[in-house]
């Protein structure tokens, strides 16, 4: 039984309180796991509480489909096993180490003996368990607390080395960071000056590496593009592994990668693909081939001469990336452009974009990263110039044919989602079973057509031979989807009505009365929503409570002043953008200052 160190003591005191800390630490046991080892599996006896001291764990759930589902990650200082220890129930999920990890264990017998001496421990454990239940996103948030980074070049190309230099500088500008290169370990204070390519790593190096994690926010391992002992060690210590290559390079697994079992044998901690593009003016293409061959957890594009792309990678690693969620709202979605303009003007980054319905279309335009003025001009030309809501037809399937929308999407979005410079997703709903579809791959236009197929307004889209409609019918504020991405803060934009108003009539006027008011002078005009507006509003109301609940989970929820604009009033484009821009400038300035940025 090992004597806990100071770091362990702090973890225990934070969890149980200072009064019981000493008694608990006398009964702790140390558990060591290698990357890939299981701490326990789903269904195992729940007989212990564990605290992660160093390393990283993943939480896996066996699903009915037979494919295990990743629920989240456990970061140092966090605990697992409260429910089993308190109730005696079997493990509800499995826990697996994705890098070399050290834990401390409190067994059931030790806990029961402690509970007899310190009854308050039981209440403390129950309180901590309740907090875990309430913080449903805690495991997802743990994935953002990355501190050890392995940079794995897939070639010796100079552009790859230059990117590694730029990324390290960007991380160093954020917080304390140390870069470890095999041939220059002595410069970082290692017990060995340097290692040759095939030199084994001395045992004395490992505790020194662990001490660096306590001293620095980031420990960056520069790997060799080869299966060297140093690369093996670096991969075992990493919270995230960046596979870095020129986008025009060979997508296949190298022999040395297979030797390291990176092609599926040995789990890599958060495998992330970074594709470098030497010509920033050329459209990005071919990403799908990389993703199909390597299946990373996510990918990021870095264009030459674009330091904001490098900064985006650094923010993603640091857990400070900003995700922007854009709700549906028909023509009122034009207000999203005002939000985007204000964020750009204030220097607030947009690192990840997610949307639904009109929010997905405008979000995809933002993800093309064309510049704010070109983005707004393109949206104006598409929505005002081409009038996608006006190609009416016999209302057998829908009020409009949807062909104008199809032409617009095909004209402006000819690339795949994975080729967009900024990470993007949108959501739709399968019409037969109501399943939520998250579109992150494949043709952008097809995904947007599905996400914006407002029931009754546009015909359903066909995706994989299934009818699909607007995702807003089940989730008009996909903050929950964004929270599963590697972002640290989420800004959401809500376009729903925030006011109530009374109508000046006891019953809805007849269509003839409405027409008389519109066409004949000196007759009473009735403000009655049209059929399209009623359909759009009905879709919004169906998920209003859910959207408001998800909106409250965002770090910042914006409500642009769109109430005075009609849901199909595209002619108010410029006024809507300007009103939203001015509102957002004020709200964002205050929030950005108070958030400590």
Q: Is-catalytic flag, 357?
A: yes
**β-strand partners of 70:** 60
Token pair belonging to 197 = 């390519």
Most distant CA atoms of the chain, gap in Å: 95
**How far is the C-alpha of 444 from the C-alpha of 323, rounded, in Å?**
19
Q: Is 69 exposed, middle or buried (0-12, 13-18, 19+ CB in 10 A)?
A: exposed
Which residue, chain included where needed, has tokens 């001015």?
A: 582
**How far is the C-alpha of 225 from the C-alpha of 239, rounded, in Å?**
19
The H-or-E segment that residue 592 falls in is: helix 573-594
Rg over alpha carbons for the chain, rounded to the nearest Å, is 27
**How far is the C-alpha of 430 from the C-alpha of 467, rounded, in Å?**
6
**How far is the C-alpha of 117 from the C-alpha of 123, rounded, in Å?**
13
Measured between alpha carbons, how far is residue 449 from residues 332, 366, 452, 474, 494 in Å? 18, 17, 5, 17, 21
CB 316 within 8 A of CB 142: no
**How far is the C-alpha of 379 from the C-alpha of 23, rounded, in Å?**
65
Measured between alpha carbons, how far is residue 495 from residues 353, 368, 426 in Å? 17, 23, 17
Selecting among 357, 472, 496, 580, the annotated active-site residue is 357
Selecting among 157, 406, 470, 494, the annotated active-site residue is 470
CB 244 within 8 A of CB 154: yes
**How far is the C-alpha of 394 from the C-alpha of 378, rounded, in Å?**
30
Phi/psi zone of residue 77: left (φ > 0), alpha (ψ -120 to 50 degrees), beta? left
DSSP strand pairing (240-246 vs 271-277):
parallel
Catalytic residues, by residue number, are 357, 470
């Amino acid at each position: 039984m090992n004597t806990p160190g100071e770091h362990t003591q702090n973890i225990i005191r934070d969890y149980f309180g200072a009064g019981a800390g000493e008694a608990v630490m006398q009964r702790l046991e140390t558990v060591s796991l290698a990357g890939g080892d299981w701490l326990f599996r789903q269904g195992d006896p729940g007989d212990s509480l564990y605290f992660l001291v160093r390393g990283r764990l993943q939480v896996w759930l066996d699903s009915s489909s037979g494919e295990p589902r990743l629920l989240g990650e456990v970061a140092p200082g966090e605990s697992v096993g409260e429910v089993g220890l308190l109730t005696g129930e079997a493990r509800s999920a499995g826990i697996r180490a994705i890098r070399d990890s050290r834990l401390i264990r409190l067994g059931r017998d030790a806990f029961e003996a402690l509970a007899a001496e310190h009854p308050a421990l039981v209440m403390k454990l129950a309180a901590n368990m309740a907090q875990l239940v309430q913080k449903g996103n805690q495991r997802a948030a743990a994935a953002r607390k990355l501190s050890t980074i392995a940079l794995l070049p897939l070639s010796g190309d100079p552009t790859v080395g230059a990117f590694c230099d730029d990324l390290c500088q960007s991380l160093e500008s954020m917080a304390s960071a140390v870069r470890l290169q095999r041939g220059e370990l002595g410069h970082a204070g290692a017990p060995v000056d340097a290692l040759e390519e095939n030199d084994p790593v001395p045992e004395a190096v490992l505790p020194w590496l662990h001490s660096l994690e306590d001293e620095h926010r980031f420990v960056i391992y520069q790997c060799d593009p080869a299966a060297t002992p140093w690369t093996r060690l670096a991969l075992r210590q990493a919270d995230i592994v960046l596979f870095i290559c020129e986008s025009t390079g060979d997508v296949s697994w190298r022999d040395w990668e297979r030797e390291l079992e990176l092609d599926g044998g040995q789990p890599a901690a958060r495998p992330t693909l970074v594709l470098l593009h030497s010509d920033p003016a050329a459209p990005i293409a071919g990403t799908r081939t990389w993703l199909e061959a390597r299946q990373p957890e996510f990918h990021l594009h870095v264009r030459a001469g674009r330091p904001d792309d490098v900064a985006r990678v650094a923010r993603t690693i640091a857990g400070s990336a900003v995700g922007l969620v854009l709700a549906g709202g028909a023509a009122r979605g034009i207000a999203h452009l005002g939000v985007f303009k204000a964020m750009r003007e204030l220097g607030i980054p947009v690192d990840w974009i997610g949307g639904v319905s009109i929010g997905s279309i405008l979000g995809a335009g933002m993800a093309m990263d064309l510049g704010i003025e070109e983005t707004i001009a393109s949206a104006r030309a598409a929505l005002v110039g081409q009038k996608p809501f006006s190609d009416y037809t016999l209302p057998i399937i829908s009020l409009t044919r949807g062909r104008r929308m199809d032409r617009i999407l095909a004209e402006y979005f000819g690339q795949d989602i994975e080729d967009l410079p900024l990470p993007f997703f949108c959501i739709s709903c399968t019409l037969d079973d109501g399943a939520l579809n998250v579109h992150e791959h494949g043709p952008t236009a097809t995904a947007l057509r599905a996400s914006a197929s407002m029931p009754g307004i546009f015909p359903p889209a066909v995706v994989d031979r299934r009818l699909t409609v607007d995702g807003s019918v089940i989730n008009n504020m996909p903050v929950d989807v964004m929270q599963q991405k590697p972002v640290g803060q989420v800004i959401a934009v809500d376009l729903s009505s925030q006011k109530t108003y009374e109508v000046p009539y006891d019953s809805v006027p007849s269509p003839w009365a409405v027409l008389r008011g519109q066409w004949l002078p000196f007759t009473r005009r009735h403000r009655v929503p049209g059929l399209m507006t009623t359909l759009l509003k009905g879709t919004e109301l169906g998920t209003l409570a859910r959207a408001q609940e998800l909106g409250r989970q965002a770090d910042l929820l914006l409500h642009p002043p769109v109430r005075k604009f009609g849901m199909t009033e595209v002619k108010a484009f410029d006024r809507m953008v300007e009103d939203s821009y001015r509102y957002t400038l004020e709200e964002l300035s205050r929030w950005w200052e108070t958030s400590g940025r």
